Amino acid sequence: MKAVISFVIRYIPRKYLQLVSHFFLRVLAIFYTGSKVQCNVCDSQFRKFLPYGRKARENALCPKCLALERHRLMWLFLQKETNFFTAPLKVLHIAPELCFIERMQALPNLEYITGDIESPLATVKMDVHQIPFENNSFDVVFCNHVMEHVDDDILACKEINRVLKPNGWGIIQSPIYDLKETIEDKSITDPRERERLFGQRDHVRKYGKDYASRLSQSGLLVEENLFVQQLDPQLVIQHALPPQEIIFYCKKGL
């Protein structure tokens, strides 16, 4: 069973998994009844979260809404540090995460648009290298776990910067490794080699600590926000938040 789960997680993109796994997880959730942890995205309590990841991380995935540690952190950040839930905002959510879509769609203050190159979850089919919207269109852009897949991440960020309104902001998360500099080699196209070097079969680079400065070459102003480290440690445990995760909070630059 473990081998099957590992195969599925390894070879089937998460966005497709999200489509079929809901029912299965709802059943599984029965076995996780309890109140030790709380998912702040769907406001549900469990004995613990499900394990997730190729090298499975314990206590990670919400059985009800499929939020992972990083999603719970982002939701809390939006609640505590931004005007996302109150201000009238036009939002572009690129490669939208299932756990957020319905909840963001339901917010009456938002004009909420989802876009993706292939995901059936998104309403606008779009390439992040060429975002099909006018300059200065959006108050907020989210684009998480996309940059490690795209050909030209700087161009993609230039596009995000272009469609943001003045004073617009965004969050652009990617997996970051303990490397001084990002590793990238465009000549490597073999999925097995990509997995070995970049961590996953469809990753084209492996980001290091230069992530923020690299993205800021696009003109975006990228801030490394250590929000999680300012939280009560009890809350971090209760929501099973990623204790080291940096939130890359971006603002429109020149």
Residues near Zn ion (CB under 5 A): 39, 41-42, 62, 64-65, 67
CA pair distance 174, 208, nearest whole angstrom: 10
For Zn ion, which is the closer residue by CB, 67 or 113?
67
64 burial (CB, 10 Å; 0-12 / 13-18 / 19+) is: buried
Burial environment of residue 186 by CB neighbours within 10 A (0 to 12, 13 to 18, 19 or more):
exposed
In angstroms, give the least distance from the CB of 86 to Zn ion: 22
Contact between 65 and 25 under an 8 Å Cβ cutoff? The reply is: no
Least distance CB 30 / Zn ion (angstroms)? 15
3 state SS of 55: coil
Closest separation between CB of residue 42 and Zn ion, Å?
3
Which of 39/163 has CB closer to Zn ion? 39
Nearest distance, CB of residue 40 and Zn ion, angstroms: 8
Task: Output 41 or 212, the one with its CB closest to Zn ion.
Answer: 41
Taking the least distance from each CB to Zn ion, the nearer of 64 and 205 is 64
**Nearest CA among 112, 147, 122 for reference residue 248:** 147
The minimum distance between CB 19 and Zn ion, in angstroms, equals 17
Identity of the residue, 39 or 92, whose beta carbon is nearer to Zn ion in the bound complex: 39
State how far Cα 228 lies from the chain centre: 16
Least separation in angstroms between residue 75's CB and Zn ion is 9
In terms of CB distance, is 159 or 245 closer to Zn ion? 245
In one letter, which amino acid is 133? F
Q: How far apart are CA 63 and CA 26, in angstroms?
A: 6
Task: Tell me the C-alpha to C-alpha distance, in Å, between residue 51 and each of 26, 32, 116, 240.
Answer: 15, 12, 27, 12
Identify the residue whose tokens are 């923020």.
Answer: 212
Sequence-ordered strand ranges (E) for 132-180: 138-143, 164-171
